[in-house]
Structure 1
């Protein structure tokens, strides 16, 4: 039976979406993983639902791709088909080997490595997942999908300070990196993620400070404005939240305005015992696929 999320956890999940609005991730991994573990984009009760006929078809497809890969281990089309079929069957462990081969065959396509990291994280190989994320960041310093994955993993391991350290280090080097390679690192995106980590630890003052810095660096950035509004709303500071919601609506792209209006509407009062005091906060995963 699913448990009702606390208002605080809902806030953290919303901030996660804000942190990565505009960053895409392989849609397949998001849709499939949502059926195996609750994520930011899935309802708590979400479960995979395929008919026996669909399952038999997918099993046959997977077997066919397996035979092709056995004969042609470098056949990218067959490897991708095998990954997709096994994911749709919920066989997360089974996608690791073909993903490793795809990553090897396509060293310039880091999405395969990030997908591999997510699969390893799902099956409990956190060290392997962390190394995969770090491998991507070593070659692409501004890869926000990999950074978010690594930070999420660290928080799940109960290492929020390590996550904060990774983000602070990224911010310290961002200006010099961008000077030589403009727009390599999305500074506001990193600040949004740092604010999300602070919020996940209920360190709201520090989160608000980070959002203020993001706003100062880019007065047209609507995400930190909305993030501040959400924190004030969570704290019951309606007077502070309302003008921020209004400003966020005015700054946001048209496709996000209605959603912000919904977030601005009054919510139910939190239940006294809606979450366990021993609950470990987590960041959302996989990455949201919201367009800017």
Structure 2
């Protein structure tokens, strides 16, 4: 269950540096749990028509991200603007499996020769994580923690490994340890919400915790953390059915940092939920101008957003009613 227990938000010293990305994976301004890159999607082909079309995401193997969605086949009908984004990196794995295996073997050989090389350890850990070998990734992360005990990103990465492996209890334990040291870590709160989302959370209580953390961030001038909590609060508002309040938060986030693409995408997702396709298209077009060309935004949204399951379930129902 999501609970901070003994944590004192106002009196805990904030001594750990913050980053929106807690590993060396590509940086994003959103709070996210990186998707399992071993999860493979079939090619997505959109019609050249300007009308919304259907396409199906069918997981080819069991995958931790879709355990969050509790679905093995998701039908998505969305606005024409979203289809026009044509995600280039979702159609196929980044590299052939043999190449990944060769890379891992080379890294293992290099690590055997230099067991205290942090860069090699990190690279091998990331390779194992991407290939879904979470037990090995956790062991490597433990080695990184021993070598760099004051580096805050390694415990977060360890919790992610547990979460992706399906061991939510261990993930929650690590997130609680992180928050015991620094309660103002939005990514840890976000991960704790994800790990506890199937437990019938008291979202009102969670909001109270997040609001207190936001006040502390303001007092300590921790802008990045404050923004991270605001992003999380917006997600919680959607989960609670407060779509208008969520939209207002995302609008504020977009005004504060116009170059951040996630608030636009999330606004589009909410308008899609509300069946307001014109407004959704407007936000998706803003998002399209900002999102990096090869960024797997759909995959990331599936596993990093608390209301992703709600969105895709709604799209599935809508698609079924039209068939």
Assess same fold via TM > 0.5.
yes
2:290 aligns with one of 244, 255, 264: 255
Alignment RMSD, CA only? 4.5
The 3 A distance-change label for structure 1 pair 131 and 233 is: same
User: Quick one: distance in 1 between partners of 2:131 and 2:284?
Assistant: 44
**Matched residue, 1:169:** 209
User: CA 1:145/1:48 → structure 2, altered by over 3 Å: closer, same or farther?
Assistant: same
Cα displacement (A) at 1:151: 1.7
Give yes or no for contact 2:156–2:178 (8 Å, CA) kept in 1.
yes
Give the alignment partner of residue 243 of structure 2, picking from 184, 193, 207.
207
Structure 2 residue aligned with 1:280: none
Aligned partners of 1:92 and 1:122 also within 8 Å: yes
Aligned to 1:136: 178
Match of 2:165 among 106, 123, 127: 123
Q: Give the one of 179, 185, 193 matched to 2:232.
A: 193
Distance across 1 between alignment mates of 2:167 and 2:64: 18
Verify the 8 A CA contact 1:59 1:89 in the aligned structure 2: no
User: Structure 1 length as normaliser, TM-score?
Assistant: 0.59
Tell me what 1:114 maps to.
Answer: 156
Listed as ranges, the matches of 1:10-159 within 5 Å are 23-26=20-23, 28=25, 33-36=36-39, 37=63, 39=65, 50-52=96-98, 54-66=100-112, 68-69=114-115, 74-87=116-129, 89-155=131-197, 158-159=198-199
CA 1:58/1:221 → structure 2, altered by over 3 Å: closer, same or farther?
closer
Q: Secondary structure at the match of 2:320?
A: coil
Distance 1:232 1:159 in 2: 27
Residue 305 of structure 2 is matched in structure 1 by none
Per the TM alignment, residue 198 of structure 1 is displaced from its structure 2 partner at its CA by 4.4
1:77-109 deviation per Cα after TM superposition (whole angstroms, max 9, x unaligned): 443344245345542211212211212332332
Distance 2:157 2:187 in 1: 10
Q: Which residue pairs with 1:272 in the alignment?
A: 320
- Aligned-pair CA distance for 1:169: 0.8
Q: Distance in 1 between matches of 2:88 and 2:164?
A: 16
Structure 1, residues 46-69: CA drift from partner, whole Å, max 9, x if none? 667534365245325324424643
Paired residues of 2:163 and 2:171 also in contact (CA < 8 A): yes
**Matched residue pairs, number?**
232
Contact 1:99 1:112 (8 Å CA) reproduced: yes
So what's the TM-score if we normalise by structure 2? 0.54
Higher helix share: 1
The whole-number CA distance in structure 1 between the counterparts of 2:230 and 2:119 is 38
Gaps of 5+ in 2: 1-18, 27-32, 40-62, 67-86, 296-314
